Amino acid sequence: MDAIASLSRGAANAASDRPSREEAEAAVRTLIAWAGDDPDREGLLDTPKRVVKAYEEWFSGYRADPEAELSRTFEDVHGYDDLVMLRGIEVESHCEHHIAPFIGKAYVAYLPSERVVGISKIARVVEIFAKRLQTQETMTSQIADCITRTLKPRGVAVYIDAKHECMTTRGVHHPEVSTITTKFCGAFRDDPELRERFLLLARQA
């Protein structure tokens, strides 16, 4: 089964079994009580509503289709066949292990075959996958695989550099450590000079 299709099917099944807003707010009240505070005290009365509303924003990627964002392409590029690269795309995500934030930047490039896509759509694909629970490694692969599957370019490269709050506020407490993940497909995987050119451009940002 194709990985993207499997993930989409899993997200659809999860959506059909989605608890109600009231159930979600009750779960937040339970966590507040478990932490040792009183969910009925004045400062916490509206916290469950705020948390659920924040979750709607943080995890809005489950309600969006990244492939649909790439469906409109353009052929009139006057023979352009070099790489198209977006640098410094904001990444705001949450890891699936602790639901702790990780924040950083993504650098994405592709080599068009016959068509190009609006550059904002590449950024939107990054945002959609970031607004889901996963690891940084998984998100990096998802972005590259989605662009490869949908645009069918000659190559795709993804580079993500992010800091994880699960290493900053708990566990080993190393706030200055960042995590770098990469995924290279097609020409970027096969051509070391092209790959190094992409990495150089990413590091210069």
* Residues labelled catalytic: 95-98, 136, 164, 166
Q: How far, in Å, CA of 73 to CA of 70, rounded?
A: 7
Instruction: Calculate the alpha carbon distances from 33 to 27, 48, 65, 111 in Å.
Output: 10, 12, 36, 53
CB 108 within 8 A of CB 85: yes
Do residues 163 and 121 make contact, with C-beta atoms less than 8 angstroms apart?
A: no
Q: How far apart are CA 134 and CA 146, in angstroms?
A: 15
